[in-house]
């Protein structure tokens, strides 16, 4: 069963627009970790953020911000004032602690962000 | 050193060839991973090693054979692959799985494998 759902396949914006990427997850664990990664065309997965299930504080890092809501099992990601360099595939991922798959990172399908000048 | 280094970056091999992918990290991480990523798909876990012991095998065909000779090195031996095995193979490492705290993963830039 799909544990992480990224419903948006592709989002196209013009530079300086804001873009929000949705992520909905499913788990029975009370302890888990959520991640966002960026994958540019070069292929490397670039770590953006890690959040554990006990920390619901929203976070801002430069132009990036994250909204974690356990009540709706969502961990959304917003890029403010997008730039062409933000064009990439963005993955949301889940790591569950209390299962036999501890250590396994389960990825959503990814959202392709295209930022045009 | 905060990197995971994968070699080679690109590999083309025939279906009867034997080749190996190599992954190295010097961050003192004790868990290492192989992921396979097909075009326009998310990475899928293949193997997890914890303290040089195989802890997860996601029912990967035996033509893929992992090896972890020491805590810094992870290999993936390839033999009799099929064209559908063509993909980006990503290696990752993380600090320690025994503490049940996830400090995150560091990924390498991958090996793009083409099987002809």
List, for residues B40-83, the tens digit of each pLDDT value.
Answer: 999 999 999 999 999 999 999 999 999 999 999 999 999 999 99
Identify the CA nearest to B95 among candidates B35, B34, B50, B53: B50
Residue to mutate among B10, B32, B38, B43, with most A CBs inside 10 A, is B43
Q: Is the pLDDT of residue A99 over 80?
A: no
CB atoms within 10 A of CB B97: 19
Mean pLDDT of A35-59: 91
A37 has pLDDT over 80: yes
Q: Output the average pLDDT for chain A.
A: 93
A1 band by pLDDT with thresholds 50, 70 and 90: low
The yes-or-no verdict on residue A117 having pLDDT over 90 is: yes
Contact residues, chain A, for B94 at CB < 8 Å? 103
* Average pLDDT value for residue range A9-13: 97
C-alpha B101/C-alpha B51 separation (Å) is: 16
A50 touches chain B (CB under 8 A): yes
Distance CA B83, CA B63 (A): 13
CA distances from residue A102 to A4, B5, B97 in whole angstroms, order as listed: 16, 24, 8
pLDDT at B101: 83
pLDDT at A94: 96
Token pair of B7, please?
């070699």
Q: Binning pLDDT at 50, 70 and 90, where does residue B2 land?
A: low
Across A96-116, b (16+ Cβ under 10 Å) vs e yields bbeeebbbbbbbbbbbebebe
pLDDT for B1 beyond 70: no
Closest CA–CA distance from residue A115 to any residue of chain B (Å): 18
**Tokens standing for residue B41:** 């798909």
Which residues in chain B have Cβ-Cβ distances shorter than 8 Å to A45? 43, 90, 92, 107
pLDDT at residue B108, rounded to an integer: 95
């Amino acid at each position: 069963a799909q544990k992480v759902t990224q419903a948006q396949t592709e989002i196209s914006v013009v530079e300086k627009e804001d873009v929000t990427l949705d992520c909905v997850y499913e788990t029975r664990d009370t302890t888990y970790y959520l991640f966002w990664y960026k994958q540019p065309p070069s292929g490397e997965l670039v770590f953006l953020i890690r959040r554990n299930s006990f920390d619901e504080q929203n976070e801002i890092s430069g132009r990036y911000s994250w909204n974690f809501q356990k009540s709706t099992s969502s961990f959304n990601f917003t890029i403010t004032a997008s730039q062409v360099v933000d064009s990439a595939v963005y993955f949301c991922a889940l790591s569950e602690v209390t299962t036999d798959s501890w250590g396994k990172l389960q990825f959503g399908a990814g959202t392709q962000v295209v930022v045009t000048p | 050193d905060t990197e995971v280094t994968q070699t080679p970056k690109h590999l083309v091999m025939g279906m009867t060839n034997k080749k190996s992918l190599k992954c190295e990290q010097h961050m003192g991480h004790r868990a290492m991973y192989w992921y396979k990523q097909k075009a326009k798909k998310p990475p899928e876990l293949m193997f997890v090693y914890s303290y040089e012991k195989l802890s997860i095998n996601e029912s990967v065909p035996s033509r893929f054979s992992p090896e972890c000779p020491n805590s810094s090195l992870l290999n993936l031996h390839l033999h009799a692959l099929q064209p559908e095995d063509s993909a980006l193979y990503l290696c990752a490492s993380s600090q320690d799985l025994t503490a049940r705290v996830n400090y995150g993963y560091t990924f390498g830039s991958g090996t793009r494998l083409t099987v002809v």
